[in-house]
Every structure is written in C-alpha cells, then in structure tokens.
Amino acid sequence: MTNRWNRLLAAPLLALLALLAFAGPASASGESVGSCMAEKLEELIEESHGDLEEVLHELHVDTSIGDHFEKNCIEAPSPILPETNEIIWGGSAFLILFVLMVKKGFPAVRGAMDARAEKIRSDLDAAEQARVDAQSVQSDYEARLADAKTEASQLIDEARVAADQLKGDLAESAEVDIAEMRERAAVDIESSRAQAIADLRSEVAGIALGAAERVVHASLDAEVQSRLIDAYIDEVAGTDG
Amino acid sequence: MADSRVAGYAEALFAVAAAEGDSSVVEDELFRFAQALRSDKDLGSTLADTGLPLARRLQVIEDLLGSRVSAVTTALVSMVVGAGRAAELPDIVDAMVERGAASRNKTVATVRSAVDLTADQSERLAAAINTRTGRDVEVRVVIDPSVLGGVVTEIGDDIIDGSVRRRLNQLRESFR
C-alpha cells in the first residue's frame, strides 16, 4: 500500500520538477520587440564591421531596413503554432513526463486501481456471500417457521382428536357406570325386596309360632304331658309302629 | 387339675353315701339339687360367695334341704360348700352320679321333661333305652319347662329329642 502511494505521488512531483526546469528556456524564446531589434541591430553592426556610423546612415537612408526590423520583430506570433524552442522544450518535457508516467505512474495507478477493483470485487463477493447466507438463513427460518406451523397444526389436530377420544371415552364410561349403577340398584332393590319378604316371613312365622306355642302351652295339661311322655317312650322303644 | 379335683370330691361323696346306706337315694337327691343350682343362678352365686359368713350359707342349705332330703344329702352339700367348692357342686354331683351308676354297671341317662316322670314311666323309659342302645341306664329326671312337652334324653354324647320345643323349632325352620 505504501509503495503504491509513493508511486502515485512521484508522478506529479516529477512533472512539477520538469516544468520548473524547462520554464526558463521556454520563456526566453518569447523575446521582446526591443531585444529583437537590438539583435537585428547587432547583426547590422557586424555586417558593417563595427562601423556604427555607417549603420545609422543606412538606416536613415534606407527606411526599408527599419520596416524590415519592425516586420521581423513587431510581427505577432502565431496563436496556433508555438515557437520552435517551446515545441522542443514542451515536447521533451511531455515525452519525459509521458515516459515517467508510463514507467512509474501508470503501473502504480493501475496497481492501485487493480487493488481497488480487487477490493471492490472482494467486497461484492463478500456481500454476495452475505446475501446468499442471509437468503439461506431466511430460507432456513422460513422452513423452520413452516415446520413450526405444520407441527402446531399437527398438535392442534392431535389435541382435537385426543379431546374427541376423551369425550367418547368419558361418554362410554359414563354409560357403563350408569348401566352398572342401574344393575346394582336393581340388585339392591331385589335384595331389599327379598330381605323384606324374609323379614316379613320371619315376623309372621314368629307371630304364628308364638301363637302356636301359647296354644300348645295352654293345651299341655298333665294328661297330655303324660301321653307325650308315653308316646316318646314308645318311640324310643320302637313300638310306635 | 379341676377335673381331678371334681373326681376326687365325687369319689368322696359316693363313698360317704355308700357308707351311709342306699346311695341311689342320696345320688338322686344330690342330682336334683345340682339341677336346681344350674337353673337358679342366684342360689349358686349365694352359696359360692365367700364374702358371706359360712354359717349364713350353711343356714341357707339347711333351710332349703333340711326337711326335704336325707340328712346325708344335706351334710354332703354343706361339706362341699364349706370347702369353698359350691361353684363346682353341679359337676361334682354329675361325676358322683356317674360313679354310682358305674358301680352298678349302668350308665346315667339325663331326662329333661316339663313334668316329672312317674316311676313306671322311668322304668319303661330305661327299658326302652336299653332296647334301643343296648345299655343299662339309670334315669335321672331334670324338670325343664323350656321343653314344653315330651322328653329329651341325654346319654353321654347321644341325644334323643322328642320334645314339643324341638317340633316348634323345626316348624320355625320350615318357615325360613
């Protein structure tokens, strides 16, 4: 990461250094009108072998020279085509900068971009994975929810069936209990009736026997007692027939 | 222990009665008094009450038996009561009666009847029992109003019931 940032910073620094280094020569090519005319004048002086008087004279006689000076020095530069030295300096700087950018800047930028793209791709993959995971969790949750609903429905159905079964069992049990109670009641009634009859019979028998005993006791006088004893004696002896 | 004591007293009573003469009369009197004790619980408890002075109890015996039975019988009863065995007197008398009958090669037949049997009836009953069981018996009559009429004879463990009470009971059973 640090190496990549260094590369990114190196490219503009080199471009700035190149501009500073070649700015001077480039601005020198844009000479002023005075210097241009001085330069022309020096050329005339050299052509006149240093005779300034002669040069001034020619300028005075031949005005076309002055016009030539003005034409060559005052003429405005082309707004489209720069000066030659400017093209050289600028082109050189551009080439150098271009080479530097191609060699150093572009790989660094491309590496950073690749890393950035890789990171974005990784983040997208992670997001996709997270989305898939979330979808999976959601599917699982929905499946669980569906299972829970199904299970709850089954439980409700089972509870309803159990309730119906219990209801049926209770009804059946109640019917059985009622039948048993009726049977027991019938048995009890029959038993009570039989007991009442037996009690009544015993009571009647007691009354009848009591009356019979009183009658017998009243009828057992001495003669009857004697006859009973004699009859007993005959019975024991086996002569009673 | 109780059986041996009863047997001892019975043997003693029989020996005294035999020594004094006709033991069968004494046996019969003692037998009737023993049955009276069985039927009269108050009399039995009075004679057995050691809280009463012995003289008072002996006086009761004298009042009850003095003019009705032989002197030997009264003396024997007084002896048993004086010895503090009044509660066991009925069993003692039973054993004594059996002992006397055995001495005559006979068996005691206890006869329960609402009324007393005549001598002729007793003899005929003894003969009838002899005919039926093959045993010579001496009839001892016990007056029992609950019999109502007829006779119940007990010879050892054998019972011959010809009472009106039994017939009434049979009739009661037939109603059930």
Q: Domain ends where: B80, B105, B130? A: B105
CB atoms closer than 10 angstroms to residue A33: 13
Task: Count the domains in chain B.
Answer: 2
Find the residue in B nearest to A215 (Cα): B148
pLDDT of residue B128: 92
How many Å apart are CA B86 and CA B118, to the nearest integer? 30
Q: What tokens were used for A112?
A: 């950073």
Calculate mean pLDDT across residues A110-127.
91
pLDDT of residue A181: 94
Domain that holds residue B171: 106-176
How many Å apart are CA B166 and CA B144, to the nearest integer? 13
In this structure, the answer to whether residues B57 and B136 fall within a common structural domain is no
**Option in B148, B162, B172 nearest A232 (CB):** B162
Domain that holds residue A79: 2-109
Phi (first) and psi of residue A165, to 5 degrees: -60, -45
Regarding an ipTM greater than 0.90, the answer is no
Residues 6+ positions from A30 with CB-CB distance below 8 Å = A77, A83, A86
Contact A213 B168 (CB under 8 A): yes
Q: How far is B134 from chain A (nearest CA, A)?
A: 11
Contact A231 B162 (CB under 8 A): yes
Residue B52 predicted with pLDDT over 60: yes
Nearest C-alpha neighbor of A33 from the set A81, A66, A79: A66
Is pTM beyond 0.90? Reply is no
In this structure, the answer to whether residues B97 and B132 fall within a common structural domain is no
In this structure, the answer to whether residues B98 and B127 fall within a common structural domain is no
Helix axes B71-82, B89-103, angle to 10 degrees: 130
In this structure, the answer to whether residues B79 and B111 fall within a common structural domain is no
- Side-chain-facing half-sphere of A196: CA atoms under 13 Å: 6
- Name the E strands within A80-195: none
pLDDT tens-digit series, residues A198-240: 888 888 888 888 888 888 888 888 889 999 999 999 988 886 5
How many Å apart are CA B24 and CA A137, to the nearest integer? 126
DSSP annotation of B51 = T
Residue A168 inside a domain? The answer is no
How many Å apart are CA B42 and CA A45, to the nearest integer? 201
Nearest C-alpha neighbor of B78 from the set B41, B38, B33, B127: B33
Residue A45 predicted with pLDDT over 90: no
In this structure, the answer to whether residues B115 and B99 fall within a common structural domain is no
In this structure, the answer to whether residues B42 and B129 fall within a common structural domain is no
Cβ-contact B121, A236 below 8 angstroms: no
- Name the E strands within B36-136: 107-113
Find the residue in A nearest to B166 (Cα): A213
Residue A141 inside a domain? The answer is no
Contact A220 B162 (CB under 8 A): no
Helix axes B71-82, B23-39, angle to 10 degrees: 50
Phi (first) and psi of residue B88, to 5 degrees: -100, 5
Q: How far is B111 from chain A (nearest CA, A)?
A: 11
Residue A176 inside a domain? The answer is no
Nearest C-alpha neighbor of A91 from the set A13, A186, A18: A18
The side-by-side arrangement of strands in the sheet containing B107-113 is: B137-143, B107-113, B151-155, B158-161
Mutate to test the interface with A, among B120, B123, B151, B167 (most CBs of A within 10 A): B151
Residue A15 inside a domain? The answer is yes
How many Å apart are CA A103 and CA B15, to the nearest integer? 169
How many Å apart are CA B156 and CA A92, to the nearest integer? 169
Mutate to test the interface with A, among B125, B141, B142 (most CBs of A within 10 A): B125
Task: Count the domains in chain A.
Answer: 1
In this structure, the answer to whether residues B117 and B75 fall within a common structural domain is no
In this structure, the answer to whether residues B128 and B95 fall within a common structural domain is no
Residue A27 predicted with pLDDT over 70: no
Tell me the pLDDT band of A4, cut-offs 50, 70 and 90: low
Contact A212 B168 (CB under 8 A): yes
